[in-house]
Chains A and B, each alone.
Chain A
């Protein structure tokens, strides 16, 4: 795809005595058994993904499945053992150290699970730090820093020290700081996992609000399927370093690749994910329908309407043509969580 901002091809990261030599021996495609037998750990195994411009690409998986390692390979915080990373068509792995620094200064932003604020700097200085190391003068960097702080809702706390802020506030600083350089790609490694559930929800909303305004290309890591569904356009599910499946939340629910993926999707709020298109059936010949809903409408949006109507409701595509119908039974199956739907 030409529109991809970030592309990973056959990416491997092995830990062990001599990863490169081992990969060479196995022609860059070692089997899982060979890896285990030789005492290596494959933190990332043969991962290929494409993140398109302006999308939120979620990487999710259980703890230890290699999410952090993958995202660190994509930003070259960790050198992959083999494979390739293309960033805006540029081979990231062959970029010189000096160019990499330039690239990070201008085109990449990253948010960390434990915030990673610099403890000795105030909120203002933390947010302005990426500009400071670029050599931007105090006056010139403080204006945008104040704007960013305002944007994440921390106006008035510019002179607080990190330890004087709550977790949620610290992460707002982390977000402001990673956005101040207006990056082309934004990495978020479990940005809300260290927060308690209420704050997490609030921050997710905040994050969505920001993204609506900014349209960043985002790699977002989480181990929480709910969060993945809330924020993600597409989700990659990882297990033991491998990418098991990539798809929209709806695709994952409708057609999970295996039981591992199905386990994640089981508890998901289906009514908020599944759309009319996914649960509609063909209208029987001469069936009466009342009204019509768009094919992209989520179940939760039209459940009441279908429930309140005597007859099935028509489903219409963008052009307004009827492509199927949704009846009470279909809605009930989603709401009651019927497994047989898959």
Chain B
């Protein structure tokens, strides 16, 4: 509903008394009426469909799952045997990576295990990273990447970080390869692409938690299951990037390939994929970053390492430890991000990267020497414990100090906002009967994009209703709406300022770049630290996480206003303020709206994570389902989150398109 309200405002800019605004006013009046009358008037079935009317999709899915696991049989082998086999195959590279990076070669299992050979010494790993940095980006990158890994050693995060890294060095390549294969298939086969596109849409909007549950069900609890979840989460962008990159290969190059007499296979492998390499590497970077993003979530189904550390500390409210591990994830993310970006950048500039063989030989020699030395000098093999620093006590102390000194202040803010904004909005949302909301959504959809959009939006809303999750959904909408409101207000203001002011942009850009590399979970830590648990904390985390795109798109929108228009305004004698209000903002509005759209998407993806701090919404439903391994319930609640996301996405995009169309239709914007 609030999303609809935001949209209607955007559309009504050329305000005239027209049937649309009258209808919107009627909807608003009805909504207020519903809020004022409360439970007495509105029948209960308008709040939540009685159980007997619901679809029962959740129990259906659960039984299907049960059937799959317990009975499904493909003749030669059962479903269960198949999932076991997949897990066993995936376990092999994971074991190898873990042997190299964290555990060493072991005989036996668990505490009885005997180490046959130690893992790579920390000196070797730091050296490898620094050398790669040097090769991809020169001495500066060597320093940054090496420094990041050194940090992990010095601050006592080495063991966990290497566990995390070993799952990433396996998950990311598999995700990349899977993405490439699906992307090529999608490029070659239009039918496959048509099937895959909505699936990808769904995979990117369904919250991760929702598919943790079936994975847990099929693959059990443990590092392999966690890795599968990571791959499923991280691969979709690679599919898209691959399809886009292949389509973007210059036509002449494809024609050359044909004329040279390539077979279809040679065309893809020898011509198109190599020609598309620079764009593909952007996808590679995304896969790596998304894998890191999953680190904490994956630890819920059995990944160890840094994610596990964060999760357990968060559960124990041990802020210091949690923050320490969180920072370590960020440091790891920064190092991997810079390395993969520099590599992609080098490929884009198509630098001849010297003789690879000498480099590899030198690196191998270095690793061998350190490994050998490490066998005799323990401090080369493992960073000496005595020299580790821990920031945890410091963080805990800082938080304690802040709470002691500022508790009243923070509490006052929290209480004020809760009483005056959060609770009223929540009550308002919960007071809305679903027929009214569905009708309003359908109407807005119809005005913005015609009958098809109206049907889609209303259909998705009814899906939520029919699954009996209306009230939870409204709480989710309320949390996101307020988070988005804050994020958009702050983000657009900062973005506009940075867009107008190049010097500010130079500071803001790296900050939002960094913000976007942080795993979503990390945002929860400071919020919990300062405001304990509850709706307010959730909204704060959502706001922080969703801020970056609002800033980026607003700044871009302003920067892209043609200089010509500003000059025209100046020559007509507009003040700075008038230029901003009358020229720059209206022209930038479609772009800013796209930024808001991204903000909404990020807010929704943060939603489920905030369930950890005790919200009572769809996210919590998914989370509860996860702890109970209730596949049906979790998936259905997850699909509802996806439904909300798709509704918001399609409506906002339709609004932005309409605006842009109006703009290009009329030569001069109001």
Contact = CB atoms under 8 A, between A and B. Distances in A.
Contacts of B262: 101, 133
Interface residues on A, range: 20 to 34
B17 interface: no
A134 interface: yes
Contact of B261 (A101, A112, A159, A187): A101
A109 B270 CA distance: 18
B252 A118 contact: no
B361 interface: no
A102 B259 contact: no
A112 B255 contact: yes
Nearest to B255: A77
Interface in B253-271: 253, 255-256, 258-263, 266, 270-271
- Tell which of B255, B266, B270, B274 has the most Cβ of chain A within 10 Å: B255
A139 interface: no
B564 interface: no
Given A114-B252, A116-B252, A161-B350, A75 B259 contact: yes
Contact of A118 (B261, B275, B352): B275
Interface in B321-373: 350, 352
B571 to A, nearest CB: 37
Interface string B224-268: 000000000000000000000000001011011011111100100
B277 interface: yes
B270 A133 contact: yes
B261 A120 contact: no
Contact of B252 (A101, A108, A112, A159): A112
B618 to A, nearest CB: 45
Contacts of A101: 261-263
A113 interface: yes
Nearest to A102: B261
Nearest to B274: A120
Interface in A94-130: 101-106, 108-110, 112-116, 118-121, 129-130
B260 A104 contact: yes
Interface range for B: 10 to 19
A72 interface: yes
A163 interface: yes
A120 B259 contact: no
Contact of A110 (B256, B274, B277): B256
A174 B259 CA distance: 12
A212 B270 CA distance: 34
Nearest to A131: B260
Contact of B259 (A104, A119, A134, A163): A104
B259 A108 contact: yes
A110 B255 contact: yes
Nearest to A121: B274
Given A118-B271, A118-B274, A120-B274, A133 B261 contact: yes
B352 to A, nearest CB: 6
A112 B255 CA distance: 9
A162 B275 CA distance: 12
A187 B253 CA distance: 15
Contacts of B274: 118-121
A109 B260 CA distance: 7
A105 B255 contact: no
Interface in B277-334: 277
Contact of A105 (B261, B271, B275, B350): B261
Nearest to A107: B261
A96 to B, nearest CB: 13
Contacts of A103: 261
Contacts of A132: 270
A119 B352 CA distance: 11
Interface in B412-431: none
A124 B274 CA distance: 16
B259 A118 contact: no
Contacts of A120: 274-275, 277, 350
A109 B261 CA distance: 10
Contact of A119 (B258, B261, B350): B350
B258 A116 contact: no
A129 B252 contact: no
A104 B258 contact: yes
A331 to B, nearest CB: 45
A251 to B, nearest CB: 31
Nearest to B262: A133
Given A104-B261, A133-B270, A72 B350 contact: no
A129 B275 CA distance: 14
Contacts of B270: 129, 132-133
A72 B253 CA distance: 14
Contact of A116 (B253, B277, B350): B253
A120 B275 CA distance: 6
B280 to A, nearest CB: 11
B232 to A, nearest CB: 31
Contacts of A163: 350
A130 B256 CA distance: 10
| Closest 8 A/B residue pairs (Cβ) | A105-B261, A104-B261, A116-B252, A120-B274, A116-B256, A110-B259, A112-B252, A130-B260
Given A113-B252, A119-B350, 6 more contacts: A72-B255, A104-B259, A105-B261, A116-B250, A120-B350, A134-B261
12 contacts: A77-B259, A104-B259, A110-B259, A113-B252, A116-B250, A116-B253, A116-B255, A119-B274, A119-B350, A129-B270, A133-B266, A162-B350
Interface of B: 250, 252-253, 255-256, 258-263, 266, 270-271, 274-275, 277, 350, 352
